[in-house]
A = this chain, B = another copy of it.
Amino acid sequence: MYMVNGVLTDVFPVSDRGLQYGDGVFETVLMHEGKPVLWREHLERLERGCRTLRIPYAVNDAGLSASIKEVYDRYHRVGAPSVARCVIKIMITRGGGGRGYRPSQNSHPSEIISIHPLPEIPLEIYQSGIAVRSLKASVSQNPTLAGLKHLNRLDQVMASMELGEDEFEGMMHLPNGDLIEGTKSNVLAKINDRWVTPEISGAGVKGVLRQYLLARSINWGLPVEETRLGQAELADLQAMAIMNSVFGIIPVNRFNETELDVHSVLQEVQASVHKEIPFF
């Protein structure tokens, strides 16, 4: 179910710059018992994305919340599975205007809200973890766009096509080998007994849960630092987890050929995060 600029519809102007150039940003938000999870953090990133891309969309908490509520209520009324949990996607595009790359001064942004079932996540992987391997498709290096959740997601599409049916996630690197992120998640790693996450300065997405952890985890006695994760650092890898704002923290039990310690993920990170946020 899609709502475009306040109207329920399945279609969209073909001239919109979101389609023509991927000129926009998005957020994927977990809904728990009718409420968006990590909502303030999503709003902040949406605002930051629009500002960086200079899309003149004023992020308005009350307006967006009302629209989400309308979509959510209708979705349940029309007989969708009456689950307590689902996913809302918010896309903001620059709108129409401006043939050619340069936007016109009078483009009006488009707001698209859609609702989707929660992706299927086997519950046992929260305890046993998953094996991940490095994928061949590179993550694009571009300091201008790094961090944003923009609509140019071919990197993730190409990497995802390498995954087998039974692989939940895979790892993406820069051409130089540095580990940056999963196709749909950020990475936490334990190296020399410290928790770190790859630096997102030249490439990658600053996931909402990643930013939440960087800002709050020190209060839980779980300091997380940003660092480069090159081959040297990865050689000392002890434990690893993937994280995003829809599924929370999932341990990694093997990265390529290296067996990893799942126990410390469960005890240290997952316990802290899942105590704060209702991921499952």
Contact = CB atoms under 8 A, between A and B. Distances in A.
Interface of A: 2, 4, 9-23, 53-54, 91, 93-94, 99-103, 112, 114, 116, 119, 136-145, 150-161, 163, 175, 183-184, 202
A53 B184 contact: no
A110 to B, nearest CB: 10
Contact of A154 (B12, B21, B119): B21
Contacts of A157: 17, 21, 23, 53, 94, 101-103
Q: Please tell me how many copies of the chain the complex holds.
A: 2
Contacts of A150: 154
Cβ-closest 3 pairs across A and B: A22-B22, A152-B152, A102-B160
B112 A14 contact: yes
A25 to B, nearest CB: 10
Q: Chain A interface secondary structure, helix, strand, loop or mixed?
A: loop
Given A21-B156, A53-B158, 15 more contacts: A11-B11, A11-B13, A15-B114, A19-B19, A21-B151, A22-B153, A23-B153, A53-B154, A101-B156, A102-B161, A140-B142, A141-B142, A143-B175, A144-B155, A151-B154
A119 B138 contact: no
A229 to B, nearest CB: 18
- Of A112, A137, A153, A157, the most chain B CB neighbours within 10 A belong to A157
17 contacts: A2-B15, A9-B14, A11-B13, A12-B19, A16-B19, A19-B93, A22-B22, A22-B152, A54-B161, A99-B119, A101-B159, A102-B163, A140-B141, A144-B158, A145-B155, A151-B154, A152-B152
A14 B4 contact: yes
Nearest to A23: B157
A17 B114 CA distance: 14
A151 B12 contact: no
- Of A12, A13, A119, the most chain B CB neighbours within 10 A belong to A12
A158 B145 contact: yes
Contacts of A114: 14-15
Nearest to A94: B157
A178 to B, nearest CB: 12
Contact of A153 (B15, B21, B116): B21
A177 to B, nearest CB: 13
A95 to B, nearest CB: 12
